[in-house]
Structure formats: C-alpha cells, structure tokens
C-alpha cells in the first residue's frame, strides 16, 4: 500500500473516532495533520453543509464525513497535492472504508465544493 494512502487512512480513522468523542487526546493516531483539520473543523463543516444541502452533517455516515473533512482540508486549506489526486484518494478511501455507493456521494460533494470555490 502506498504510504500516503495509508497515512490518509489513519487520518480518516482519527476523524471517525473524533466524531464520537470530541477529545483530541483520545485520537488513536495522534498526528499534526489531524489536529490541524480538527482546528479548522467549523470552516470545513460549513463548506460540506453548504455543498451537500440535502444531507445535514448529523445524517451523513461518519466514515463519509471523515473522508469529506480530510479531502476538503487538503483541497482548500493545505493545497499540497493536485486536486484530481485528492478527489481520487477520497473516492478510493470511500470504496475501502464506506458503503457501496458512498464513493459517488463523496465524489459529488467534493466536485460541488471544487466547482463553486474556484
């Protein structure tokens, strides 16, 4: 497995865990990037809510939400990887960790965010 993919998978696990226990000290894999995402969570969640209006945050599967949070952070705040790479990684993470059709939902929301932010 690509080490970058494995690292993103750990961040998704962290964000998933954080969604149940809003305590940074309880994260399974403490790392700087997860802490930065958690620090910007309000801004990230506002964007996700805005571009997925039919799905309130509390109705989005926690795994999908964790993937969206990571990807939104990478797309709009971190900006280290090409946008296509970030979206492709999000889709792959959704296929790996989430439900059967989750990858399409994740792709659609990230596409809306990207199209409307540019």
Helix, strand or coil for residue 66?
A: helix
Percentage of residues of the chain with pLDDT beyond 90: 79
What is the phi-psi region of residue 79: left when phi exceeds 0, alpha when psi lies from -120 to 50, beta otherwise? left
pLDDT tens, 17-32?
999 887 777 788 888 9
Q: What is the pLDDT, as a whole number, of residue 118? A: 63
pLDDT tens, 17-74?
999 887 777 788 888 999 999 999 999 999 999 999 899 999 999 999 999 999 999 9
pTM: 0.94
Residue 116 burial class via C-beta count within 10 angstroms: exposed 0-12, middle 13-18, buried 19 and up: exposed
Task: For residue 88, give its domain range.
Answer: 3-117
Q: Which of 77, 100, 104 is nearest to 90 (CA)?
A: 104
Q: How confident is the model at residue 2 (pLDDT cuts 50, 70, 90)?
A: confident
Per-state percent for the chain, helix, strand, coil, to nearest 5: 75, 0, 25
Q: What is the pLDDT, as a whole number, of residue 111? A: 94
* CATH number of the domain where residue 113 is located: 1.10.940.10
Q: What is the pLDDT, as a whole number, of residue 117? A: 77
Q: Which of 75, 33, 35 is nearest to 51 (CA)?
A: 75
The domain total for the chain is: 1
């Amino acid at each position: 497995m690509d080490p970058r993919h494995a690292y993103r998978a750990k961040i998704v696990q962290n964000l998933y865990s954080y969604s149940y226990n809003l305590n940074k000290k309880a994260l399974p894999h403490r790392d700087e990037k997860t802490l930065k995402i958690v620090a910007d969570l309000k801004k990230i969640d506002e964007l996700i809510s805005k571009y997925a209006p039919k799905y309130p945050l509390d109705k989005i599967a926690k795994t999908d939400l964790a993937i969206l949070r990571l990807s939104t952070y990478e797309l709009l705040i971190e900006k280290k990887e090409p946008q296509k790479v970030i979206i492709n990684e999000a889709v792959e993470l959704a296929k790996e960790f989430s439900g059967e059709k989750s990858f399409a939902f994740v792709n659609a929301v990230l596409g809306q965010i990207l199209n409307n932010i540019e």
